[in-house]
Each structure stands twice: as structure tokens, then as C-alpha cells.
């Protein structure tokens, strides 16, 4: 029924609902049905789902900070002193001293260029929309790696700039495209650590191309921040890069264990985002207690390198034990370790078989990854023990033999 009470077509279902039901049935029969599992424990290496404890290789909580006691204490103390809600957008009246301090600490920590500033966003998704729509418009062009995260692509589309995609990591393809553009501004947009493959973008070479073609390099360090770099400053530090051409977005709900995102860049870029980025201007600021929690997280990221050492030892162990398995493990040096199964149903079946054995490793299917490359996205964290990783590998070897 419509709001006027008149049926929109014969029968008791609207045409929209009928069409949606057909599309949902098609999605289900194509093996693309997605389901949420409900956690009743904090995030961590072991989680409780449906009353059952599972060893989880399924989160982006790479340093095991999502339930870290010091961060929980900081959040609780801040809830008492700052309340729970920001109450307004940053530009209206919601910008708290905790946000301001966190922005200064992030800028000094990540330092994409000397004198950089940082700006907080409520999520990484919004930050990428904000960067691309504020820095690019109709006269401009965005060049994006084919495997970039959806929110970089969505930002590029929303900006109305010409949108070009280059083959994954292919510098020649990118250079050819940059050489022929007549756009006013050129933005190269790339994940630093690709979210479903775990490999690194060739940032030094991308920065050289940006220099050669007077382009801006927009990097999404969602999976590098906290993990890479000597103190966890991220992928720029990993490669020893600093440049005024770089606009660095990092998320704060992954290795940092909390929520939100930041952009760090030259002050002129940050002030432009603050003044004009719609996903910054037209949304309520995140609760200041989260900024307080993130300041505690930042202290751990910078001050406890042992977490990263342990994580990288687990990555080496996992890759060693997975050698020779019939499903290829992508060549990832990071916490994201994708095991490519290929077929959608086979990937889901493998994930289900692991679940029966007490391990949670989600199957990732198209459109999140290219057709024919459905995979288990296994993520390792500093909260895992070597014994838990060994047990997962043993289960995978057993299933490889049985399948």
C-alpha cells in the first residue's frame, strides 16, 4: 500500500518489493548471500558467537587493541568527564579538546610532510568521500588502482572528476594515463595495503609519478597505520617517504582498535577539508570519549613495538606452514593473508568447515573481489598465539587433504 492507502499495483505487494524479492533470490542462488554473525563477547583473538567460543581470524584488530584494558579505562574515564555525545558537528559546537589533542598527536606521529596537520573524520569511508570531493571536481581527473577500496572509488565518482582506473600496481599503465590527461588537477588514489590481497602499493614509484606529472597522491592507509613503520606510523614511514604531494588517510577502527579516521596532509589541504568537505561539515562529531580512547591507543601503538614484532613473527609462521597447500596463498607481507579458493560456494564451504572446527575465517566473494577469486581472508593479529595459528594451519591442511 502507498501512504495514501491506495495499492500501487494489483495484489498486496508493491512493484519495488516484488523486484527486490526477485533480486534477493538471484543473489542467494548465485552463492552471494551475506550473513552477519552476532558476537556476544568483545572483539579479540577468541570471540563468542551463538554461545560458542571461536578462534577468530576475521577482524582488522591487528594489534589486539579493541578490548585493551588501558584503552577501555581511558574511554570510561572520558565518558565520565566528557559525557557520551559530541552534540553537534565539529564546526558548530562539537569540537572537543580531546579531538583537538588527538589531531595534533596524529599529525606529529604520521608526518606525511614537515608541518603537516591532521583532521578527524567519523569513519574512513567518510574521510575518503571528503578528500576526493573537496580536492577534485568536474575539471579534474582521479586515477585509481583497480583494487582500491570501494570508498575511494565512491569518492571519485561523487567528485564528478573524470575517473580512470589503472591495472593493479601497474605503473606503466598509470604513467600512460597521466601523460594523456588534460585535466586541471590530477589525483592518484591508492590503498597502501590492499584490503583483500594484503600486498603493498609501490608508494615510492607512485610518488615519483606524482612528481613527474604534478599530481597529488591520495593514500588510504587503513591497513598500514599502526602495523607498518618502525613505530606503527604507517606505510609512508615504512618506505621512508615525506612529501607535500601526499594526502594520507588512516582509519582508527582497525589497528588502532577504536573507530573513526584521520587525514594528515599539508595545512592548506587540511584547512580546505575543514572548510569544504561535506562529510566533515555536515555530520555530528564522533563522541569525544572515542578521541580519548584513541589517544591511549596511539600511546600503545608508538610505545609497544613488541606487538608488531609478535604479529610479524605470526605472519612468517603462517606463511611457512601454508607452503604447498593446494589453495594459493597470495604473496602478502602483511596481516591480511588471503587463501584463494576460486569458486564462491567452495570458499563458503571451506569457511563453514573451519567454523565446525572452531575457527572463524570469512569467505570473501564478488563483488568485493574479482569473479573467480573467492577467498578466505585470514587476518592475523598480535592477540593471537603461535599455538592458535598452528592449530588453524593444521585444520586447513586436514581440509586440503580431505577436499
Ligand X SMILES: Cc1ncc(COP(=O)(O)O)c(C=O)c1O
Catalytic positions: 195, 223, 254
Stretch that binds ligand X, among 51-59, 215-223, 264-272, 374-382 (CB under 6 A): 215-223
Shortest distance, CB of residue 176 to ligand X, whole angstroms? 25
* Nearest distance in Å: CB 248, ligand X: 12
Residue 253 corresponds to which cell in the numbers above?
577502527
Does position 124 interact with ligand X (CB under 6 A)? The reply is: yes
Region from 123-131, 134-142, 335-343, 390-398 binding ligand X, contact rule CB under 6 A: 123-131
Residue 60 Cβ, how far from ligand X at the closest point, in Å?
7
Of 10-18, 72-80, 121-129, 336-344, the segment contacting ligand X by CB under 6 A is 121-129
Query: Mask of contacts with ligand X, 217-236, x by CB under 6 A?
Result: ---x-xx-------------
Q: Which of 57, 62, 109, 125 binds ligand X (CB under 6 A)?
A: 125
Which grid coordinates belong to 41? 563477547
Residue in 132, 349, 381 with CA at minimum distance from that of residue 254 = 381
Options 64-72, 117-125, 206-214, 366-374: segment touching ligand X (CB under 6 A): 117-125
Alpha-carbon gap, residue 341 to 327, rounded angstroms:
6
Among 302, 333, 57, 325, which residue's Cα sits nearest to residue 194?
A: 333
Residue of 92, 136, 127, 116 whose CA lies nearest to 271? 116
Binding string, residues 355-394; x marks residues near ligand X by CB under 6 A: ----------------------------------------
Minimum CB separation of residue 12 from ligand X in Å reads 38
**Residue 290 to residues 79, 98, 187, 240, 304: CA-CA distances in angstroms?**
9, 9, 31, 30, 20
Q: Quickly list DSSP for 59-128.
A: -S-TTS-TT-HHHHHHHHHHHHHH-S---SBIIIII--HHHHHHHHHHHHHH-SSTT-EEEEES-HHHHH
Contacting residues toward ligand X, per CB under 6 A: 123-125, 149, 151, 191, 195, 220, 222-223, 251, 253, 261
Amino acid at each position: 500500500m502507498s501512504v495514501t492507502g491506495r495499492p500501487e499495483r494489483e495484489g498486496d505487494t508493491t512493484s519495488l518489493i516484488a523486484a527486490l524479492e526477485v533480486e534477493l533470490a538471484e543473489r542467494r542462488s548465485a552463492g552471494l548471500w551475506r550473513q552477519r554473525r552476532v558476537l556476544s563477547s568483545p572483539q579479540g583473538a577468541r570471540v563468542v558467537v551463538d554461545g560458542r567460543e571461536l578462534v577468530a581470524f576475521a577482524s582488522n584488530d591487528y594489534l589486539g587493541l579493541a578490548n585493551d584494558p588501558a584503552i577501555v579505562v581511558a574511554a570510561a574515564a572520558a565518558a565520565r568527564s566528557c559525557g557520551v555525545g559530541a552534540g553537534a558537528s565539529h564546526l558548530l559546537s562539537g569540537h572537543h579538546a580531546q579531538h583537538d589533542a588527538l589531531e595534533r598527536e596524529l599529525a606529529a606521529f604520521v608526518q606525511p610532510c614537515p608541518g603537516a596537520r591532521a583532521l578527524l573524520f567519523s569513519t574512513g569511508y567518510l574521510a575518503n568521500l571528503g578528500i576526493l570531493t573537496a580536492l577534485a571536481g568536474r575539471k579534474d581527473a582521479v586515477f585509481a588502482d583497480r583494487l582500491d577500496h570501494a570508498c575511494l572509488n565512491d569518492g571519485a565518482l561523487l567528485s564528478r572528476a573524470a575517473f580512470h582506473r589503472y591495472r593493479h600496481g601497474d605503473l606503466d599503465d598509470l604513467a600512460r594515463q597521466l601523460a594523456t590527461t588534460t585535466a586541471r588537477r590530477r589525483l592518484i588514489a591508492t590503498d597502501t595495503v590492499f584490503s583483500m590481497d594484503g600486498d603493498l602499493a609501490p608508494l615510492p614509484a607512485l610518488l615519483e609519478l606524482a612528481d613527474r606529472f604534478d599530481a597529488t597522491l591520495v593514500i588510504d592507509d587503513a591497513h598500514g597505520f599502526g602495523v607498518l613503520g618502525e613505530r606503527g606510523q604507517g606505510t609512508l614511514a615504512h618506505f621512508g617517504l615525506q612529501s607535500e604531494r601526499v594526502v594520507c588517510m588512516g582509519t582508527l577502527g582497525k589497528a588502532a582498535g577504536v573507530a573513526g579516521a584521520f587525514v594528515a596532509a599539508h595545512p592548506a589541504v587540511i584547512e580546505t577539508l575543514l572548510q569544504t568537505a561535506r562529510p566533515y561539515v555536515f555530520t555530528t562529531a564522533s563522541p569525544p570519549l572515542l578521541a580519548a580512547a584513541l589517544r591511549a591507543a596511539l600511546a600503545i601503538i608508538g610505545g609497544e613495538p613488541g606487538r608488531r614484532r609478535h604479529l610479524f613473527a605470526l605472519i612468517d609462521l603462517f606463511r611457512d606452514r601454508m607452503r604447498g597447500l593446494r589453495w594459493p596463498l597470495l604473496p602478502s607481507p602483511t596481516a591480511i593473508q588471503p587463501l584463494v579458493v576460486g569458486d564462491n560456494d567452495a570458499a563458503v564451504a571451506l569457511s563453514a568447515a573451519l567454523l565446525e572446527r572452531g575457527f572463524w575465517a570469512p569467505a570473501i566473494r564478488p563483488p568485493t573481489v574479482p569473479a573467480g577469486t573467492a577467498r578466505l581472508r585470514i587476518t592475523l593479529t598480535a592477540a593471537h598465539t603461535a599455538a592458535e595459528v598452528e592449530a588453524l594451519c593444521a585444520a586447513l591442511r586436514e581440509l586440503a587433504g580431505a577436499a
